[in-house]
Structure 1
Amino acid sequence: MSHAKRTRAKSDDLSSEKKLKRSNSNVVDYMTQIQTNLRIKNVDIKEHTSTISEPVPDKKAKEDTSEHAISTISTFISDRLLSIEQELCIKLQDITFPPSIQYIYNPLEYASETHAMYVHKYCTGIKKILFVGMNPGPWGMSQTGVPFGEINMVRDWLKISGPVGKPSKEHPDRKVIGFQCTRSEVSGLRLWSLFRELCGNPENFFQNAYMHNYCPLAFMDGKARNITPAGDGQKILHEACDKSLIDIIQLLKVEIVIGIGNYAEKRAQTAVQTGGLSVQVMVLRHPSPRAVGNQNWNEIAKQRLNELELLKYFDNASITAV
């Protein structure tokens, strides 16, 4: 090998080493920032990144170390999000709701396995966009543990399925039978079908975005009708859910929150203001089939995303270039 080639090869190695060090530094900085922002205790950043900063003998080892670092961060983020949700569930257990609410379903508890699959599979890094729905629907998340989780879309497109338990008190007209349920959550079908059309595969959607529900609980009266808590219970509920949403926005370093429906947008606005976050809050029309003029929701939604200049994050042909 000529002297020039040897010099260039050595220079390339040094350049790669500098990039790796810079990348590893970013990993540590990001995890430290997460810990500081969320006041996470008992998390040893050095433990999570010890293999990152140790010298590595060759290029293959460097690549393996980088992959390990990415895997470590992915697990950390998904586990932390599940922890935030668990903390919220504990707070909500202490709320006394009015007698009109006779049934409360929490799929984060009885559908914890499939919900955790969703989080570990698709919430593994920072997200520019966070979609926020209200709370679980009876034939969607209440059955699958996935936000807007229409059964066919969850099983066949998101590739998630598994055992689902039952709520502690179950209404006979709103039985939870998991993936055996034959009812379809039309709102969820419309929403996920839109992104299947735009993105092609789930990975393209979750590259820039994540789907989350503001409140994990479904509330029903004695006739199995959805009901919204009122009074002091509502105030405590909002405070707890706001705090959880703030933590998730910070964890994922979200830049844009899109409320699916006016209620979700309003709660997101309140949370962002309360947390003093520099985040844009927008609204996307809810895909409910009961809403007037919602027959052509798919086209309405695409037009809205285009108006917000967000289609580029979901267009299958341009995602990699964003």
Structure 2
Amino acid sequence: MKTIPLRKTGIHLSAVIMGTWQAGKAMWAGIDDDQTERAMAAAVDAGITTFDTAAVYGDGHSERVLGKALRHVRKAVVIATKVFAHSLAYEKVFKACHQSLRNLQTDYIDLYQIHWPAGSFGSRDVPIEETMRALNALKLQGKIRAVGVSNFSQAEIEAAEAFGTIDSYQPPYSLFWRHMEKTAMAYCREKGIVVMAYSPMAQGILTGKFGPTPQFEKGDHRARNVLFQPEHYTRIQDALKALRPIAEENGLTLGQLALAWVVSREGTCAIAGARNADQVVQNARAGTVSLPSEVLSEIDRIGRTVTDHLGDDPVMWKW
């Protein structure tokens, strides 16, 4: 498994990271805790050393499942979690961090991230200086090792950097969702900020598992994903048809091809969710392959047949 250094922290992230939004169960359907725990163990065996979660995933349920699954290998893995937008005031950051530590059954968090900017989802508009002051204090106390942000604009990243070091940036990024290339990607490369791409398989679209008319169980948030809407989905089916022979020629599944394209981008890891052990082992392989430049260019061209028709809103869902 390829790894990427997290700036000057001494932490190395695996190129493919196991994402655990689905482990929280909320906003997903058909998730089983036992299967999730087995998937986490399989991830470690497959060379995935980094796991990403958040306090808001199932109101801590994802963190608790992750903590239970990894407690015996804690020193061998990197755990990244997030504080939500409603907990960014100074004292609330401490309270949220301590709760995450309990959930994760650990005494330190490797990478602690601001999940959404203050003011998101009707939360209080806390000055970034106040939040960063709390995160810097937690770092000095040894409770967190590094600081990251998620769903920020470039201007918001720069504002945070005025009050401390930002080690990582987590945006939605895939072959079919590339807004951050127009905004923060160049800045992150210049500063050495690692990009942790979430939804790198476009919430399953890039696996090819959805037919021409995708159906979702009640409560599945993917029904609101912009890419699943009819005005884009026909172009997506055409793009998948063009990508499938490229995957086959390189001995990969469509999902592995999508992940391999993401991790080929400079300074970028791919956060891939998995419901079971088989899925996570399949995902892990993408962190071990290198595609020729001409193949990457063709994949890029096909992806733009979708992304060139998307709007400018960087949020993937119509909440």
Q: Which category describes the TM-score, using the shorter chain as reference length?
A: under 0.3
TM-score, scaled to structure 1: 0.25
TM-score, scaled to structure 2: 0.25
Please identify which structure carries the higher helix content.
Answer: 1
- Higher RCO (CA < 8 A, seq sep 6+): 2
